[in-house]
Amino acid sequence: MKKHALLNTCALIICFVCLALFVSGCNDDAASTPKDDLAEGTQTPTDEPTVPSEKPTEEITEATQDPTDSPEDPTEEPKYEPNYPKWIHEEIPEIDASKYATDTSVIGKSTTVQSFEYKDNGNGTYSILPKGDFDAETLIIPSSYNGKPTVLDDYVVFSRNYKNVSKLIVSEGITHIGAQSFWSLKTLEHIILPTTLKSIGEGAFAYCDSIVRVKIPEGVEKIDSTAFYDCNSLKGVWLPSTLREIGSSAFYSCNLLTDIIIPDGVTIMGGSLFSFCENLKTIYLPPSITEKTGAWFGDCTVLTRVRIPNGTTTLHKSEFFNCQYLAEISIPTTVTTIEEECFAYCVGLKNIYFLGTVEQWNNIEKIDGWNEGTKSPITVTCSDGTVEY
């Protein structure tokens, strides 16, 4: 019994000793921890949490910028925008044909079928020939004789026999007015043409000094060269949509003609067409023109602007010679040659609007003297820049 009690007492003492050693070791570890580590790595319950300061608005803006946005390159030049005027692209206006219509009533004494002679052509037609001298104010050209159609032959001149005529009525059924038919009929003021007419011959109304306005009817396809040459009282001409060809010098020296519209559909226009039309201010040219046989506007001294139609390849010699008031012109990229004296003495020319690039303009063949007598500066506006002369 005593032996067992002693063993229990020894075991208990050993347990207390071990516990005392364990507690002592823990206290030594706590004492060896650095105070700085405690300050940086731990917080006491009484410490206030640190609130981070707000970032400046500028920084937030930069941080949230859309990554797809790219900053402007300060070295990049702004895109060139050519300063083309609106009239370059405007539509060709329509003109009321009724303003050019002439009263069909007879003035004073008129001719009759018996006022002419007739030649049987053996082909079912009769040619109309003048007959002696006839004093009549109204000249009526019949469309039939003896039940057969009549024709006006080329170079049969009526003005030699009907000198006092002020009104001409060409009857329905006539298809062609012969060359020089009414050439130099000085007193002729009014012309009425039939809807059956297809062509007007060379010099048909040349030197008719008293004609004021003319309506060419629908159906006419060709106006031959010098048809209205030197009609120096002619102020207005209405041209039909059926017209396809206008011969050279057709309106040469029509001094009082102020404006004219060439209808879309015309493909051929001869040279010197409007030369010496000294009061011509405005003209509209269609893009349908495919054949141009010479200069059109020499000595049109008050012409102010022109739009050269697309498809034109050559601006001919003396094209705008002495067009003193020509201030601006548009030129298409189809032009490859500008001949000598094209703009000679166009002292008012300031702007050429070229519808292509500077390189294309520089590649156009310009014959020496193309701008002789003009006054600097002339600005050529291209689609990507300008050229100065």
CATH of the domain at 367: 3.40.50
Q: Is the pLDDT of residue 221 over 50?
A: yes
User: Tens of pLDDT along 335-347?
Assistant: 999 999 999 999 9
Tens digit of each residue's pLDDT (9 = 90 or more) over 326-335: 999 999 999 9
In which band, very low, low, confident or very high, does the pLDDT at 11 lie, cut at 50, 70 and 90?
low
Q: Is residue 374 part of a domain?
A: yes
pLDDT in tens, 37-68: 433 434 444 444 444 444 444 443 444 445 44
Given a cut of 60, whether residue 380 has pLDDT beyond it is yes
Surface-to-core class of residue 282, CB atoms within 10 Å of its CB (0-12 exposed, 13-18 middle, 19+ buried): middle
Residue 315's pLDDT is what? 95
Region 361-388: what's the mean pLDDT?
95
Q: How many domains does the chain have?
A: 1
pLDDT tens across 175-193, in order? 999 999 999 999 999 999 9
80 in any annotated domain? no
Residue 348 inside a domain? The answer is yes
Contact in structure between 119 and 126 (CB atoms under 8 Å)? yes
- Beta-carbon contacts of 101 under 8 Å, excluding residues fewer than 6 positions away, are 215
Residue 230 lies in a domain: no
Give the three-state DSSP class for 31: helix
Q: Please give the average per-residue pLDDT across 356-365, as a whole number.
A: 98
Q: Is residue 327 in a domain?
A: yes
Distance CA 191, CA 326 (A): 33
Q: Does a structural domain hold residue 350?
A: yes
- Please, are residues 102 and 125 in contact by the beta-carbon 8 Å criterion? no
Better-scored residue on pLDDT, 29 or 280: 280
Tokens, residue 7: 């063993």
CB 365 within 8 A of CB 338: yes
Domain range for 374 is 305-389
pLDDT of residue 75: 57
270 in a domain, yes or no? no
Whether 132 is in a domain gets the answer: no
10's CB contacts (< 8 A; 6+ apart) are none
